[in-house]
């Protein structure tokens, strides 16, 4: 009897971990050679320090839903001065630095459009930046409701067994 309880508990624990969604990471690299699609040009036709511009990076493949997006970047002879994802500014991105990170909370569907504004601060020939977007699905409220309902049901069953044993 005890073995069945342990097996059921272990199965429940394993099932709860399997239900979590996986992170999706999109690597982004820009510089003299662009490896992404979009408009704008932080580096094109800029040949003196102090020139400014922007890049637009679009990516698809995400279903409609709620996401927490972490943008991390670093650059050489470049400073990112502003960023937006689908027109929304990040929560805590430190702009004007050579590297930083910030969060976006997005409820939308593909395509997602990341726009980065920046300034050339050193030799334009070696100006570049790179970054990573880490996209984490936010669990829907129903997930927590089902979890609490299951725990309440387990409590009722345990209480009923305790009363029978007494």
pLDDT digits (tens, 9 = 90+) for 99-136: 566 666 666 666 777 787 777 777 766 667 777 777 77
Residues 6+ apart with CB under 8 A from 124: 43, 46, 47, 48, 49, 51, 77
Q: What percent of the chain has pLDDT over 70?
A: 49
Token match 């009363």: residue? 163
Q: In this predicted structure, what is the pLDDT of residue 16?
A: 46
Tokens of 93: 């991105």
Q: In this predicted structure, what is the pLDDT of residue 86?
A: 79
The closest of 71, 78, 77 to 115, measured between CA atoms, is 71
Q: Give the Cα-Cα-Cα angle 34, 35, 36 (nearest 5 degrees).
A: 95
With 0-12 CB in 10 A as exposed, 13-18 as middle and 19+ as buried, what is 67? buried
The residue ranking higher by pLDDT, 18 or 139, is 139
Q: pTM (2 decimals)? A: 0.55
Q: Which domains, ranges and CATH numbers included, belong to the chain?
A: 22-138 (2.60.40)
Contact, 34 vs 44, CB < 8 A? no
* Stretch (H or E) spanning 113: strand 112-120
pLDDT digits (tens, 9 = 90+) for 43-62: 554 555 667 777 777 776 66
């Amino acid at each position: 009897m005890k073995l069945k309880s342990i097996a059921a508990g272990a199965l429940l624990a394993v099932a709860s971990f399997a239900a979590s969604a996986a992170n999706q990471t999109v690597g982004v690299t820009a510089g003299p050679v662009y490896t992404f699609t979009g408009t704008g040009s932080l580096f094109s036709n800029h040949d003196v320090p102090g020139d400014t511009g922007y890049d637009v990076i679009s990516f698809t493949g995400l279903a409609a839903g709620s996401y927490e997006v972490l943008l991390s970047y670093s650059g050489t002879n470049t400073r990112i001065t502003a960023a937006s994802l689908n027109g929304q500014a990040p929560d805590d991105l430190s702009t004007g630095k050579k590297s930083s990170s910030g969060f976006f909370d997005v409820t939308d569907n593909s395509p997602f459009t990341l726009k980065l504004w920046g300034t050339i601060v050193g030799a334009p020939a070696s100006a570049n930046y790179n970054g990573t977007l880490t996209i984490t699905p936010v669990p829907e409220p129903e997930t927590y409701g089902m979890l609490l309902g299951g725990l309440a049901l387990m409590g009722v069953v345990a209480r009923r067994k305790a009363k029978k044993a007494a």
